[in-house]
Chain A
Amino acid sequence: MNDQEKPDTSRRGFVQLLAGGAVAATAASALGSLAPAGGAESTAKQSRIQYGMLIDTRRCIGCHSCSVACKAEFDVPLGVNKSWVEYTEKGTFPNVNRHFLPRLCNHCSEPQCVAVCPTGATYKRPQDGIVVVDSGLCIGCKYCIQACPYDARFLNPVTNFADKCDFCIHRVSKGLLPSCVNSCIGGARIFGDVNDPESEISRQIAANAVTVLRPGKGTEPNVYYIEADITEQAENSDGSYRVRVTTHRSIKERR
């Protein structure tokens, strides 16, 4: 019953309908060919599609082609980002290194933005687990922006709606990959259904040591990382930096 925060929408009714017994099996197979082979035994929740992403930071070269592709795809206004790459520089010369951390909405299984939304404008799509913003209902109160532990949301300065990554729903629904995945020159991003054990992403998650960001917040993110460097900016009291984080956003510090 992870959905209890938002009980009264018609969408929720749809989820509950889906979750109910025999309907679930039929609906799950009807919803997508990506449904797991062992769908009959698995529970209704597991048999639903949950899109996710696996980012192999070893393959990321910090070129920002994902950030640019995302900007171009959605015409994202200046100063805000749906997808971005953070740099973490560590050490003192000559023992130095730089790690790249591509960021986007985590499309959490327990999204706090959904729990706090007063109008039901933000919701998790039952058919594919993508967290979206319904701009017809959003009032621009910015509560979800405060509640997101990943700073993945922003107020779109043009429309005044809350905005964020939606896994390129318009592309994915036509069988294409999200724009950032499509444009990644290092092949660092794998996109797919994390609930399907046969999918490429599920096999790679099983085969590698993966992490999610801020697991302690209980959000159950669906964006996984291989070798993510989560070191934070160190206090720079003595003048010689050991760690420096560059977010490449107008928000210079990580939330």
Chain B
Amino acid sequence: MHELNWGLPVILYLFLAGLGAGAVTVSGSVLLRKGGFHDSRMDIARYGALIGPIPVMLGTFLIVFELGQPFRALNLFKMINLSPMSIGTWALALFIILSGLYAICFIPRQATWPWLGKARRVLAWLCVPLGISVAIYTGVLLGAMPARPFWNSPILAGLFVLSALSTGTAAIMLTVALFGEKSAEHREGRENDQYLLVSSDALLLGGEMLVIFLFLMFAHLTIGDVRHAVEVILPGGSLASLFWWGVVLIGILFPFVMELFQVVPKLLYGRTFRSSLVLEVAVALSVLAGGFALRYIIVVAGQVTGPTTL
């Protein structure tokens, strides 16, 4: 058995930082598009902003303590170089600070002071690109190593971004479903919010499916290192059952079908969108579980495989 140098703390960091960065990115994008939107959309921006920084900080805490001597992590700030980890560290540090401020701006529900609304927008402009950087750099980091054929693919970074946005959307969906305004006069706004979240998540999951298909397809069609590495998740491989059941079925296909089931009547036939608490909670939880399974599979599979010839 190969040595797993990067274990659960790293896997959790990839999952949590992706989720948080995704939630803040979705929140910022929705806030900046508010012009054409129903006023209730502020709920999406607010919940995304409030929940986003927490998992990022938690994940960062985990990887810093994974080092053994946590204060040594300060060495990362003595320089910046072209290592994806170095650039990612700076992006992550900036993101934590700015998304924290962004979250603070959303603690009062209404922007009572005019400068608050402006601060929200300025911070959103900064947090969206930074959130995408935090979500993408981990994929670039893993993809940069020819010694790890399972990871050494530019499409990995794309997969990480889609998964981050989709888990971020799911986290907002879950929060809105559980803690959103449930009063009767707010019902329409809430259903508009959930429609936007559910349809966006379906789109993101569709993108994830496409990327995973391309990943498997190219790996299967090639020979040598990459083919050998990807065999661990193909049927018969040691990680195959977790990949096909956990990632593909629970993480993507089930929520995708459920979301289409909710979205299609309005999208194609103009019927009223019916928000369903049980369905939204189930979909959000399965997307989150699938996002974690995806990070787990990728981090482990990359480490148990290697080049085939010396």
In B2-20, the 8 Å CB interface with A consists of 2-3, 5-6
Q: Which of B73-81, B187-195, B276-284 contacts A (4 or more CB under 8 A)?
A: B73-81
Contact with A along B124-145 (1 / 0, CB 8 A): 0000000000000000010011
Q: Once bound together, how far apart are the Cα atoms of A8 and B90, in whole Å? A: 15
Choice from A137, A139, A148, A255 contacting B2 with Cβ under 8 Å = A255
Contact with A along B28-68 (1 / 0, CB 8 A): 00000000000000000000000000000000000000011
Q: Once bound together, how far apart are the Cα atoms of A141 and B69, in whole Å? A: 11
- Residue A85 is within 8 A (CB to CB) of chain B in the complex: no
In A135-172, the 8 Å CB interface with B consists of 137-143, 145-149, 151, 155, 160
Choice from B67, B83, B307, B309 contacting A115 with Cβ under 8 Å = B83
Chain A residue numbers with a CB within 8 Å of B306 are 149, 151, 253-255
Question: Which residue of chain B lies nearest to A4 when distances are taken between CB atoms in the complex?
Answer: B82
Smallest CB–CB gap between A56 and chain B, Å?
A: 17
**CB-based contact B145/A116 at 8 Å:** yes
Chain A residue numbers with a CB within 8 Å of B82 are 4-7, 115
Q: Once bound together, how far apart are the Cα atoms of A137 and B77, in whole Å? A: 11
**CB-based contact B78/A119 at 8 Å:** yes
**CB-based contact A146/B6 at 8 Å:** yes
Interface residues of chain B: helix, strand, loop or mixed (majority) = loop
**CB-based contact A214/B310 at 8 Å:** yes
**CB-based contact A146/B146 at 8 Å:** no
Chain B residue numbers with a CB within 8 Å of A4 are 82
Chain B residue numbers with a CB within 8 Å of A230 are 309-310
**CB-based contact A8/B79 at 8 Å:** yes
Question: Which residue of chain B lies nearest to A255 when distances are taken between CB atoms in the complex?
Answer: B306
- Residue B148 is within 8 A (CB to CB) of chain A in the complex: yes
Question: Which residue of chain B lies nearest to A230 when distances are taken between CB atoms in the complex?
Answer: B310
**CB-based contact B303/A6 at 8 Å:** no
Contact A139/B145 with A7-B81, A119-B86, A160-B68 known, Cβ cut-off 8 Å:
no
* Interface-central residue, B6, B72, B83, B307, by most chain A CB under 10 Å: B83
Q: Once bound together, how far apart are the Cα atoms of A6 and B79, in whole Å? A: 10
**CB-based contact A141/B81 at 8 Å:** no
Chain B residue numbers with a CB within 8 Å of A145 are 5
- Residue B238 is within 8 A (CB to CB) of chain A in the complex: no
- Residue A213 is within 8 A (CB to CB) of chain B in the complex: yes
Q: Once bound together, how far apart are the Cα atoms of A154 and B106, in whole Å? A: 45
Chain A residue numbers with a CB within 8 Å of B307 are 149, 214, 217, 255
Chain B residue numbers with a CB within 8 Å of A255 are 2, 147, 306-307
**CB-based contact A9/B73 at 8 Å:** no
In A102-135, the 8 Å CB interface with B consists of 112, 115-121
**CB-based contact B310/A139 at 8 Å:** no
Chain B residue numbers with a CB within 8 Å of A146 are 5-6, 145, 147-148, 302-303
**CB-based contact B79/A149 at 8 Å:** no
- Residue B308 is within 8 A (CB to CB) of chain A in the complex: yes
Given A146-B303, A230-B310, list of 4 further CB < 8 A pairs? A118-B76, A146-B147, A147-B144, A253-B306
Which B residues are within 8 Å of any A CB, using their own CB?
1-3, 5-6, 67-69, 72-73, 75-76, 78-86, 89, 141, 144-148, 302-303, 306-310
Which A residues are within 8 Å of any B CB, using their own CB?
4-9, 101, 112, 115-121, 137-143, 145-149, 151, 155, 160, 213-214, 217-218, 230, 232, 250-255
18 A–B pairs (Cβ distance < 8 Å), ordered by A: A4-B82, A6-B83, A112-B146, A112-B147, A116-B84, A118-B81, A118-B85, A120-B79, A139-B73, A140-B69, A140-B72, A146-B148, A160-B67, A160-B69, A230-B309, A232-B309, A251-B2, A255-B147
